[in-house]
């Protein structure tokens, strides 16, 4: 018993030194990132409030955009989503919906709602996707193209869409997404400012649960009434209004959400499109763009624009959320392992020497270390070895700093574009910023360990995502 206690004491001490050092380093990095995010947000707010002396649609320089929408078993939300995309304010737009072998009524819903007719379309021989069965064009919306193909996964469906569109830019959008009508006019801004160097830009993802949708437009923004979607509202605010804004300030953005991202079509085709052997294609494609363009010594920019918003339905059931987050973690580990040669490699600039290593430390190693801490601390208490000072430091560096980061996201939301303008909504958001650190955060750390074990076992499934559908004024 004495030997076991001594062993536990040694392990706990070593872990404590490592964990406290790691979290101190991560938190310093986050503080710097948040300071940069404030500067970036200030400039973005100023730019968005500037009223240009010309009409948006008067400029002949807006490049055409193909909105590529992979859809697999999305019958519940596909009509609303496509309607929102057809209602977008943009001069030259094509909506390409790719039905990826759905087994529900997704295709039938599209045919009935938008009066689709089969057309003779020349399919490029080199398209890296599963067999395409048919191509449809809407008789009521000329800009709507629907591709019906064998199931091949999201990456496969995206490749089919971006090889069939002739637009110079394509916007990758999830089928369960509602886009604000003027969003593309803001999202395309980096391509107007830097037409020769801009290769990708991403906007903000917000939670649509409980909001009122009419004709593909968010008419009334509301916070979800249940705790789980509400906590995810806080997560999304923190991710976009701190992390991505800060990274954008130093041209180090390595992640554009797969639910709402704009890319140069020819450059993505140049790197071979989306990989089929990844389950987080959004993370992988941006890292691959950085890697490819750096290796070919090309000047480029990858931008985050905080004004344009896309709305998505988040999981309201814990088991569905668990499947999603385990997949995200598996994909993150897989992408890091695939591109491990970029880590600490000066050939890839600050992305390789600073951004990617910090991301691995904070989002991968940090999550696993935190989960291990939740196991070791009770063991240390059981054996009477728990150092109260270490315990308080650990709690401060995880839970305390977590509350600070969450409240920073709320502050950024109120200060900038402020979609949640009711004082009651703001108070609820602040409460969620506290609540998520007691139970939900610990659950998320254990989900990271489950995701790691699944990755080591070679699990590559997506898992079913259950949709309740968007709320409309008629509901």
Interval 106-145: pLDDT, tens: 999 999 999 999 988 777 667 888 889 999 999 999 999 9
What is the full per-residue pLDDT of the chain (475 aa) written as tens digits?
A: 567 667 767 777 787 788 878 888 888 888 888 888 888 888 877 776 665 544 455 455 799 999 999 999 988 878 878 888 898 999 999 999 999 999 999 999 999 999 999 988 777 667 888 889 999 999 999 999 999 999 999 999 999 999 999 899 999 998 778 888 899 999 999 999 999 999 999 999 989 888 887 777 788 888 887 789 989 998 888 888 778 888 998 889 999 988 899 999 999 999 999 998 888 899 999 999 999 999 999 999 999 998 888 888 899 999 999 999 999 999 999 999 999 999 999 999 999 999 999 999 999 999 999 898 888 878 777 777 777 777 777 777 777 777 887 887 787 777 776 777 778 888 888 888 888 888 898 999 999 999 999 999 998 776 555 655 555 444 4
Q: How many domains does the chain have?
A: 2
In whole angstroms, give the CA distance from residue 253 to residue 433: 25
In a domain, 57, yes or no: no
The answer to whether 243 and 33 have CB atoms below 8 angstroms apart is yes
In a domain, 53, yes or no: no
In a domain, 471, yes or no: no
Report how far apart the first and last C-alpha atoms of the chain are (Å, whole number). 64
Q: Same domain for 364 and 308?
A: no
Q: Same domain for 117 and 160?
A: yes
Q: Which tens digits make up the pLDDT trace of 242-274? A: 788 889 988 899 999 888 999 999 999 999 999
Which phi and psi angles does 222 have, rounded to 5°?
-140, 150
The answer to whether 198 and 190 have CB atoms below 8 angstroms apart is yes
Which phi and psi angles does 325 have, rounded to 5°?
-70, -35
Q: Same domain for 114 and 230?
A: yes
Residue bearing tokens 């491990």: 340
Q: Same domain for 290 and 335?
A: yes
| Predicted TM-score (pTM) of this structure | 0.89
Here the tokens at position 202 are 């991403």
In a domain, 415, yes or no: yes
Residues constituting the chain:
475
Here the tokens at position 130 are 């599963």
Which residue among 342, 364, 395 closes a domain? 342
In whole angstroms, give the CA distance from residue 106 to residue 295: 41
In a domain, 55, yes or no: no
Which residue among 342, 358, 381 closes a domain? 342
- How many C-alpha atoms does 475 have within 13 Å on its Cβ side? 10
Please, what is the angle between helix 366-382 and helix 441-457, to 10°? Answer: 110
Q: Same domain for 322 and 377?
A: no
Q: Same domain for 381 and 366?
A: yes
Q: Same domain for 372 and 330?
A: no
Residue bearing tokens 């639910």: 259
In a domain, 467, yes or no: no
Which phi and psi angles does 95 have, rounded to 5°?
-105, 120
Q: What share of the chain is helix, strand, coil (3-state, %, to 5)?
A: 55, 15, 30
In a domain, 474, yes or no: no
- DSSP bridge pairs for 118: 136
In whole angstroms, give the CA distance from residue 149 to residue 114: 18
Q: Same domain for 146 and 213?
A: yes
Q: Same domain for 322 and 207?
A: yes
In a domain, 388, yes or no: yes
Burial 268-305 (b: 16+ CB within 10 A, else e): bbeeebbbeebbbbbbbbbbbbbbbbbeeeeebbbbbb
> Domain range holding 284?
63-342
What does DSSP assign to residue 352? Answer: I
In whole angstroms, give the CA distance from residue 269 to residue 274: 9
The answer to whether 42 and 416 have CB atoms below 8 angstroms apart is no
In whole angstroms, give the CA distance from residue 399 to residue 49: 36
Q: Same domain for 223 and 359?
A: no
Q: Same domain for 24 and 164?
A: no
Which phi and psi angles does 458 have, rounded to 5°?
85, 20
Here the tokens at position 179 are 């886009």
356 three-state secondary structure: helix
Report strand pairing: 132-138 vs 116-118.
antiparallel
CATH number of the structural domain spanning residue 334: 3.90.550.10
Q: Where are the alpha helices (DSSP H) in 243-317?
A: 245-249, 265-270, 281-295
Here the tokens at position 197 are 């160097």
Q: Same domain for 22 and 104?
A: no
In whole angstroms, give the CA distance from residue 400 to residue 391: 12
Which residue among 293, 320, 342 closes a domain? 342
3 three-state secondary structure: helix
């Amino acid at each position: 018993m004495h030997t076991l206690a001594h062993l536990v004491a040694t392990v706990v001490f070593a872990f404590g030194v490592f964990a406290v050092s790691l979290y101190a380093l991560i938190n310093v990095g986050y503080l710097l990132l948040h300071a940069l995010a404030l500067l970036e947000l200030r400039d973005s707010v100023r730019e968005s409030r500037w009223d240009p002396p010309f009409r948006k649609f008067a400029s002949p320089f807006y490049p055409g955009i193909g909105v590529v929408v992979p859809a697999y078993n999305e019958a519940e939300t596909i009509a609303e989503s496509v309607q929102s995309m057809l209602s977008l304010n943009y001069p030259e737009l094509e909506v390409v919906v790719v039905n990826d072998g759905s087994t529900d009524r997704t295709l039938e819903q599209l045919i009935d709602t938008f009066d689709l007719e089969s057309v003779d379309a020349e399919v490029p021989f080199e398209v890296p996707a599963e067999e395409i069965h048919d191509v449809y064009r809407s008789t009521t919306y000329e800009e709507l193209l629907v591709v019906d193909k064998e199931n091949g996964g999201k990456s496969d469906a995206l490749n089919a869409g971006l090889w069939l569109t002739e637009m110079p830019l394509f916007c990758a959008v999830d089928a369960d997404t509602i886009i604000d009508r003027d969003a593309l006019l803001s999202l395309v801004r980096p391509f107007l400012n830097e037409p020769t160097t801009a290769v990708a830009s991403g906007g903000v993802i917000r939670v649509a649960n409980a909001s009122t949708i009419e004709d593909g437009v968010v008419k009334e923004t509301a916070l979800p009434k249940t705790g789980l979607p509400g906590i995810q509202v806080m997560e999304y605010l923190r991710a976009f209004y701190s992390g991505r804004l800060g990274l954008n300030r130093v041209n180090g953005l390595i992640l554009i959400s797969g639910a709402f991202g704009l890319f140069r079509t020819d450059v993505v085709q140049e790197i071979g499109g989306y990989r089929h052997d990844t389950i987080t294609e959004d993370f992988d494609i941006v890292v691959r763009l950085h890697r490819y363009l750096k290796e070919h010594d090309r000047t480029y920019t990858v931008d985050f624009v905080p004004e344009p918003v896309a709305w998505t339905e988040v999981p309201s059931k814990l088991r569905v959320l668990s499947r999603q987050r385990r997949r995200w973690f598996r994909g993150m580990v897989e992408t890091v392992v695939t591109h491990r040669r970029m880590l600490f490699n000066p050939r890839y600039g600050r992305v390789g020497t600073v951004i990617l290593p910090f991301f691995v430390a904070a989002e991968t190693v940090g999550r696993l270390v935190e989960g291990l801490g939740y196991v070791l601390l009770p063991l240390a208490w059981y054996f009477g070895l728990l150092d109260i000072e270490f315990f308080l430091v650990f709690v401060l560096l995880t839970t305390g700093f977590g509350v600070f980061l969450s409240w920073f996201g709320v502050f950024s939301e109120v200060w900038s574009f402020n979609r949640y303008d009711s004082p009651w909504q703001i108070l609820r958001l602040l409460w969620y910023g506290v609540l998520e650190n007691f139970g939900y955060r610990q659950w998320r750390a254990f989900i990271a360990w489950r995701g790691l074990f699944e990755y080591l076992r070679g699990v590559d499934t997506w898992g079913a995502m259950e949709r309740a559908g968007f709320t409309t004024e008629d509901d």
